Structure formats: C-alpha cells, structure tokens
Amino acid sequence: MQQHVHNKLIEKAKERLSATNLSESEIAYELGFEYSQLFSKLFKTQTNLLLMELGSRLTKETSTANI
C-alpha cells in the first residue's frame, strides 16, 4: 500500500514538473510535504534521480522536440 502511494506521488511530481515551472520545494508542498527535503529523498530513492535532474531532462526533450 505504501509503495502505491509513493508511486502516485512520484507520478504527480513528474506531471507537475513537466507542466509547470514550479520549484522542487513548491512541488513538494503541493503534494502535501511539510519539508521538501523529505520529498527529495523519497523521489531519489524511488527514481534514482533528483527531481531537478528529471526537470532538466524534460526541458531538453521539449526544446529538442520543438526544433
């Protein structure tokens, strides 16, 4: 059950990251985390990436697709 909740949080974070210019902290707070560091740790544990690393990848993919 806990893994399912974690997966949903990660998916929502990915969606927010790709659809907005929110910071890591803002995304964490939107998802209900009082401390963004806890969300960062969860994200890293689940994906082996930092949230902003994923954001950079998404930005590069989007800019490359628009060429």
Helix residue spans in 1-67 (DSSP H): 2-19, 24-30, 36-47, 51-65
For position 6, which CATH number holds? 1.10.10
Q: Which residues form the domain of 20?
A: 2-65
Percentage of the residues of the chain whose pLDDT score is greater than 70: 82
Domain count, the chain: 1
Which residue is associated with the tokens 């989007």?
A: 62
Q: What is the pLDDT of residues 36-50, one digit of tens each?
A: 999 999 999 999 988
